[in-house]
């Protein structure tokens, strides 16, 4: 059976949120704050931060990809950054993940983009194997963030 892929719709909210919680658990993150309300606001709202594809083999979505626009100064060119990718455990290795990434690449190319980027945890050997299998290059970057007190200190300093 060939996987299907489409843009997420409001009726997918509960399903996608359940998968976001499962991905967070898989990655041993603190419990996710994602809700159907944050899905509707941040993924489908007028000022959404990310966009979402869902995929499945039968009627119900069993995987999702979150992504946002990205830019490379050196080339200079734009692409899409794959923020999260997840397929339900019992539906893996049936082509759903590849279908999501393929759909993202076609969408990117259709919008004039030239590449996909992503980050993954070093210890996620399964994901690294999947991305390597699909031809991804490991750029060897460290992925950092300013959170909590560091962010508050930066945001609270200066006037611009
Ligand atoms: C990563 C993930 C989304 C892949 O989804 P999937 O539906 O199982 O992937 P596919 O079946 O489409 O496989 C894609 C390719 O990778 C290969 N592959 C899949 N799992 C693999 C593994 N564990 N080791 C080696 N290759 C693997 C497949 O054979 C396929 O290659 P092929 O088309 O040449 O045969 C899924 O494993 C997942 O949800 N994992 C948990 C969450 C996660 O780690 N997300 C990524 C965070 S960065």
Name all residues whose Cβ lies below 6 A of ligand 1.
23, 26, 85-87, 92-98, 120, 124, 126-127, 129-130, 133-134
Please report which confidence band the pLDDT of residue 157 belongs to, taking 50, 70 and 90 as the band edges: confident
Question: Which residue among 88, 89, 92, 94 has the greatest number of ligand 1 atoms within 8 angstroms of its CB, and so is best to mutate?
Answer: 92
Residue nearest to atom 32 of ligand 1 (CA): 133
**pLDDT value of residue 136:** 98
Strands 77-87 and 116-118: parallel
Q: In the block, which residue shows the tokens 């899409």?
A: 80
Task: State the virtual CA torsion across 24, 97, 58, 14 in degrees, nearest 10.
Answer: 20
DSSP E strands in 28-144: the ranges are 51-56, 63-72, 77-87, 116-118
Specify the CATH number for 4-155; select among 3.40.50.720, 3.40.630.30, 3.90.226.10, 3.40.50.2300: 3.40.630.30
**How far away, in angstroms, is 130 Cα from ligand 1 center?**
4
77 forms beta bridges with: 72
pLDDT in tens, 70-110: 999 999 999 999 999 999 999 999 999 999 999 999 999 99
Residue nearest to atom 18 of ligand 1 (CA): 130
pLDDT in tens, 45-78: 988 999 999 999 999 999 999 999 999 999 999 9
CB contact at 8 A, 85 and 124: no
């Amino acid at each position: 059976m060939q996987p299907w892929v489409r843009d997420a719709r409001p009726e997918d909210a509960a399903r996608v949120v359940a998968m976001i919680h499962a991905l967070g658990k898989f990655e041993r993150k603190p419990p996710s704050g994602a809700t159907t309300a944050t899905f509707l606001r941040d993924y489908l709202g007028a000022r959404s931060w990310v966009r979402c594809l869902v995929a499945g083999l039968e009627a119900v979505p069993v995987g999702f990809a979150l992504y946002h626009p990205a830019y490379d100064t050196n080339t200079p060119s734009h692409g899409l950054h794959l923020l999260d990718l997840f397929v339900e455990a019992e539906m893996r290795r049936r082509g759903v993940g590849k279908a999501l990434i393929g759909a993202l690449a076609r969408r990117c190319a259709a919008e004039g983009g030239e590449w996909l980027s992503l980050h993954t945890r070093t210890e996620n050997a399964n994901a690294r194997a999947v991305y390597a299998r699909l031809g991804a290059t490991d750029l060897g970057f460290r992925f950092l963030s300013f959170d909590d007190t560091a962010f508050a200190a930066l945001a609270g300093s200066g006037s611009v």
